[in-house]
Amino acid sequence: MKVQKTLFTTLVASLLITTNAQAFEIIKGEDINNGGWNTHATLHKTKQAEKQFLDLLDNTVGTENFENVNWTAGSNLDLSFPGAGIATLGGNGQIYNINDANSNKDIRRALEQGQYPSSEMQYWHTKATPKDNSTFKIDFDEDIAAFGFYAYDLGDWGAELTLKLYSNGQLVDTIDDLHTIKNDGSTTGSAIYVGIVGELLSDGVYQTFDRVEFTTTGKGIVNSKSDSFSFDDMTIAKADQLRVAIAD
């Protein structure tokens, strides 16, 4: 298997919204919501960013929309992805179904704050914090070369999301500047899509990671530096599922 770096570079350069990280290419889109509480952003730029990310992957990958997951309250969530193994969502989080808002005050409160699924009815409601033992994190049982997701309602009260990527316990990259930051709640219900793709290190070898931690910096809500948000439509891929790989 030979991977042409020129082809990879050309594809990444054509993406709608991109930034360069140290070890990964970042695709991102943001839709701002200015409608206030009980509203949320309409997905335009985020959908475009998702398409550009998925176009880099082959047709064997899967996207988890949290509609049919087997989860027990208070536990981590294990998700299986075609060809890419198991992703374990831990740290904190639970399944929210927006149809349950009338009977569940926590879900109703989340909707008031603009936390919605990016598709269908369910999402993973979670929190990013600066504390290692309580922040949202995902562990992969195999090395991952690509990772994409939607998130609603980040950064409206000062907290900034930062992604920390690890490989074999070692920090390999820190990714920030992912969304608009306000301190007055004026962007409540805004949405982002983030796609991460490992850079080509040598022929057939990409930068990979096996853990991502969702941490925060900034003033945060009431100086807590934490931020709750909805997490949805998650896609992961191994290096051999990148579409830019071509045969000799």
Angstrom distance (rounded) from CA 94 to CA 126: 7
CB contact at 8 A, 212 and 123: no
| Contact partners, residue 99, CB within 8 Å, separation at least 6 | 121
3-state secondary structure of 159: strand
Instruction: Name which of 18-32, 172-186, 196-210 the model is least confident about.
Output: 18-32
Q: Is the pLDDT of residue 64 over 50?
A: yes
Percent of the chain with pLDDT over 70: 86
* Token couple for 56: 């880099």
Residue, of 13 and 81, whose pLDDT is higher: 81
Angstrom distance (rounded) from CA 64 to CA 229: 17
pTM over 0.95: no
Angstrom distance (rounded) from CA 133 to CA 78: 18
Task: List the beta bridge partners of residue 94.
Answer: 125
CB contact at 8 A, 191 and 30: yes
In this structure, which amino acid lies at residue 192? I
What confidence score (pLDDT) does residue 60 get? 97
Rg of the chain, C-alpha, whole Å = 17
What tens digit of pLDDT does each residue of 76-124 get?
Answer: 999 999 999 999 999 999 999 999 999 999 999 999 999 999 999 999 9
The greatest distance separating any two alpha carbons of the chain, rounded to the nearest whole angstrom, comes to 58
What is 2-246's CATH number? 2.60.120
Mean confidence (pLDDT) of the chain? 88
Q: Is the pLDDT of residue 141 over 80?
A: yes
Angstrom distance (rounded) from CA 230 to CA 61: 22
Q: How confident is the model at residue 132 (pLDDT cuts 50, 70, 90)?
A: confident
What tens digit of pLDDT does each residue of 228-238 get?
Answer: 999 999 999 99
CB contact at 8 A, 81 and 62: yes
Beta sheet of 85-90, edge-to-edge order: 77-81, 85-90, 136-144, 209-218, 159-167, 170-175
The torsion angles phi and psi of 196, rounded to 5 degrees, stand at -120, 130
Angstrom distance (rounded) from CA 24 to CA 206: 9
What confidence score (pLDDT) does residue 222 get? 52
Angstrom distance (rounded) from CA 150 to CA 195: 9
Angstrom distance (rounded) from CA 68 to CA 56: 26
